[in-house]
Chains A and B, each alone.
Chain A
Amino acid sequence: MENKLILGVIILSQLIFVNCRKDKTIDPELTPLTGEQYPGGEQSTFNHSENAFGQVAPGLSGSNANYFYTGNSLFNQNWVSAPASTTARDGLGPTLNGKSCSACHFKDGRGHAPNFFDQLSTGFLIRLSVPGTDANGGPLGDPNYGGQLNDQAILGVAREGQVEVSYTEIQGKYADGTTYSLRKPTYTFPELNYGAMAPDIMISPRVGQQMIGLGLLEAISEVDLLSHSDENDANGDGISGRPNMVWNILENKTTLGRFGWKANQPSIKQQVAGAFLGDLGITNSLNPNENCPGPQSDCYSAPNGGTPEIDDENLDKVVLYSANLAVPTRPDYNDPDVLKGKKLFNEMNCAKCHVASYVTGIHPEFPHLSNQKIWPYTDLLLHDMGSGLADNRPDFEANGNEWRTSPLWGIGLIPTVNGHTNYLHDGRARNLTEAILWHGGEAELSKLAFINLSKSERDLVIKFLNSL
């Protein structure tokens, strides 16, 4: 009744005033979409401080809400060498990349490449493999160093080696004549303690990613994700996302990959369990054997912290924690410039891969993550990103040119949470503009569209990204 009345008044006033002002059509693309200010749906947080990525999803309740804190402590605190008084957290290494999850995902955020030689625990590591695949279709590790280079070790065991990053500047130019410079990394390994790497070694640098909204991504239905796949580019738009199909340890078969830079992990649990072994040296039920490749005898003979070193109960608490970090809201979602930037983002076809929104399906363990309207800006699919970004290292079905579309939610808060603005898989981009300019392959046309924008339009796109 009241609404009808108001509507009547509006219509009446429009009839009266319509001739008094210039006809101004409202562009629907410059109008906020319903709910887009809550990227995590009901599992969003209003915290925008340096702890913005560490907030619990509001729907988590009962004893699970308490276990979130326990998971948080297992995630944040340093593990120690075995044997130790702290039996809850011993078994570190023998070789490792960080002493805690938070070493690489500081404040549940994003890592960066070392700023100087031998700067440790910045959230950066090098994956290694040689041509061929293992029994499950995954990468085959280096005979001497395994699947990743551990640049730290416990007392009495030599670390595997060090990595040194150097950059070459590449100059470029926008259509308006403004120049820019991108830095291309090169990696060398000045100290290797267990012999040479294989001559045909393939390396892939990776930084730790922000942890927000992972459970919501896990809850997107497979059908929904696959509906965005266009493997043979049937629609001829030059974009051909395809799923990675990866080994699922718990299901003992190949399933859809969702997590990691190449979508090489099928579930949060497997991702967490993989990081515990690979990054911290903590064995678990999914990965029961210490990561001590071929010649590393000190590593073999070092004392362990139990079998496994993290039990299933604690592993599940870290998984619960990782699945239930809320996504920050977007206070500037209806800023006119942000909306203009979003329109440009869509016009440049960025949203073809950075798919804005989904309604999640059913999450088997956490019902509050089900049926949520979310805005992650990803399709979780693999895309050829061109030779400039290629790591030339296959990972299950992902080839050396392909990367998973990264979710963009929360990206504007990285400077607040982590104090840097380094993006992309190896942190080479020094800001969001550089990250866009590195896009190639299937994203080449989108990048060219960006290059052709005016300075003020480019600023609008960046403003939109920072509003996410």
Chain B
Amino acid sequence: MTKSNLLPIAFASVLILGTASCKKEKGCTDSAANNYSETAEKDDGSCDYSDIYAADKANIKSTYASIAYASYNDAYTTALTLQTEVNNFIASPTAQGLADCKQAWLDAREPYGQTEVFRFANGPIDDADGPEGLLNAWPMDEGHVDYISGNATAGIINDATTFPTIDASTLEAQNENGGESNISIGYHAIEFILWGQDDPNTALQTPGQRSYLDFVDGGGTASNEDRRRLYLSVVTDLLVEHLEEMKNEWSPSVTNNYRATFEAMDNDLALQNILTGMGTLSKSELAGERMFVALDNQDQEDEHSCFSDNTHRDIYTNALGIRNIYTGSYTAVDGTVISGPSFEELLEKVDPTLKSDLDVISASTITKANAIPAPFDYQLTVETTGGSGPIMQTITVLQKQGDKIVEVGAAIGVTISTTL
């Protein structure tokens, strides 16, 4: 039996024992209750412990689910566009076709970056069988997939002996096989196949310079052009498949999916998951893994999208994803705004000071992230972890945001951890 179950019995005993004494003002004497009375001297059992923010919390859940679906839907449809461009390109490889594929990849990253706030939240993207590692694993050892500078025969593409067939199951099995940076599929594998290795001389400020001739039979560049085309096609199909899976998990029109589980979840547990995702992405994954490490190592191998030099957008869209949930508003790729009740509004009621602090910090993450000059791999060589350059300023404000999100949890009664 727990202590709280005993309390009414204990109080009842007190009441029985105390009936002989003089009259005292009755009411709720527990300061933790909603109807605590400062003047009451004797508890009359009227204490109300119901969650007065229950409706607000349920509304935040609902907004979160709508934004999750809209975000993954955008990630999926932009990946479909990428798939169309890739199919056109491999049917007849041209310089323009390759450029179109690259643009479609960059466009697809914009919504996907904003979905990363749904990670670290016990959700479908990264639960025990979640596809996160199949979609967005990085950093990548390029030599696992294709030729690299100094080794023309490296990678699965150039190894027809070990990998006679390039298909979905082969490539999925090779993902993270033999080490966590042996990435064979996902956005960054596609990125590498489209752009090629980035030049180690970051001062050139150029992304990878792969020629479309790498995909033209006998094109005079790297061999195994047919296998490279096939690889690109298979890996793009897998991306679409895994994103469709996520879209369906959050779809309001699919039964028995994660959204159904989420909607049935206890409000506090759901908010704990949501805030944990926001705080962990802000403080640990983005500020720590994706930015601090690269700056500390001064190494472009540690930047997120090193082949395309798109890391500055990864940072921005991650920060934006967190802000979307805080403000309860997502602007879809087609311009539609999906919005609803937000943490911002709940905080206004619960803790206005914390709300105004977080308003400033949240807005600042967007401004600071936007101010990081591209390319990121060059910028990281001109500042240090001890300094106050634009990367370090962004790291600092993202970490501050992570700590504030822990405070939001405390303010609404849930415990948040932001560690990875």
Of A21-29, A44-52, A281-289, the one touching chain B? A44-52
Q: Could you tell me if B180 and A5 are in contact, using CB atoms closer than 8 angstroms?
A: no
CA distance in complex: A428, B199 (Å): 45
Q: Which residue of B lies closest to A46 (CB)?
A: B417
Interface residue B360 (Cβ < 8 Å from any Cβ of A): no
CA distance in complex: A247, B307 (Å): 45
A67-97 contact mask (Cβ, 8 Å, vs B): 1 or 0: 1111011101110110011111100000000
Q: Could you tell me if A77 and B301 are in contact, using CB atoms closer than 8 angstroms?
A: yes
CA distance in complex: A81, B128 (Å): 34
Q: Could you tell me if B289 and A49 are in contact, using CB atoms closer than 8 angstroms?
A: no
Contacts of A155 in B (CB 8 A): 150-151
Q: Could you tell me if A77 and B292 are in contact, using CB atoms closer than 8 angstroms?
A: no
Q: Which residue of A lies closest to B395 (CB)?
A: A66
Contacts of B9 in A (CB 8 A): 9, 13
Q: Which residue of B lies closest to A13 (CB)?
A: B9
Q: Could you tell me if B180 and A77 are in contact, using CB atoms closer than 8 angstroms?
A: yes
CA distance in complex: A203, B417 (Å): 45
Please tell me the size bucket of the interface on A. 35 or more
Interface residue B63 (Cβ < 8 Å from any Cβ of A): no
**How many chain-B residues does the 8 Å CB contact rule pick out?**
42
CA distance in complex: A103, B176 (Å): 9
Near A by CB (< 8 A), chain B positions 119-142 give 126-128, 139, 141
Rounded to whole Å, the gap between the CB of A394 and the closest CB of chain B is: 32
Q: Could you tell me if A6 and B3 are in contact, using CB atoms closer than 8 angstroms?
A: yes
B284-302 contact mask (Cβ, 8 Å, vs A): 1 or 0: 1000110011001111111
Contacts of A102 in B (CB 8 A): 179-181
Instruction: Write the residues of chain B forming the contact surface with A, with a CB cutoff of 8 angstroms.
Output: 3, 6-7, 9-10, 13-14, 126-128, 139, 141, 143, 149-151, 176-182, 199-201, 284, 288-289, 292-293, 296-302, 385, 417, 419-420
Rounded to whole Å, the gap between the CB of B335 and the closest CB of chain A is: 36
CA distance in complex: A140, B299 (Å): 39
- The answer to whether A100 and B292 touch (CB under 8 A), given A50-B128, A54-B420, A66-B385, is no
Interface residue A158 (Cβ < 8 Å from any Cβ of B): no
Q: Could you tell me if A121 and B298 are in contact, using CB atoms closer than 8 angstroms?
A: no
CA distance in complex: A68, B285 (Å): 12
Q: Could you tell me if B127 and A88 are in contact, using CB atoms closer than 8 angstroms?
A: no
Rounded to whole Å, the gap between the CB of A370 and the closest CB of chain B is: 20
- The answer to whether A88 and B298 touch (CB under 8 A), given A58-B417, A98-B178, is yes
CA distance in complex: A13, B10 (Å): 11
Q: Could you tell me if B180 and A76 are in contact, using CB atoms closer than 8 angstroms?
A: yes
Which of A65, A68, A77, A121 has the most chain B CB atoms closer than 10 A to its own CB?
A77
Q: Which residue of A lies closest to B139 (CB)?
A: A77
Contact of A5 among B10, B150, B288, B296 (CB under 8 A): B10
A125-157 contact mask (Cβ, 8 Å, vs B): 1 or 0: 000000000000000000000000000000100
Interface residue A113 (Cβ < 8 Å from any Cβ of B): no
Q: Could you tell me if B181 and A70 are in contact, using CB atoms closer than 8 angstroms?
A: no
Q: Could you tell me if B301 and A120 are in contact, using CB atoms closer than 8 angstroms?
A: no
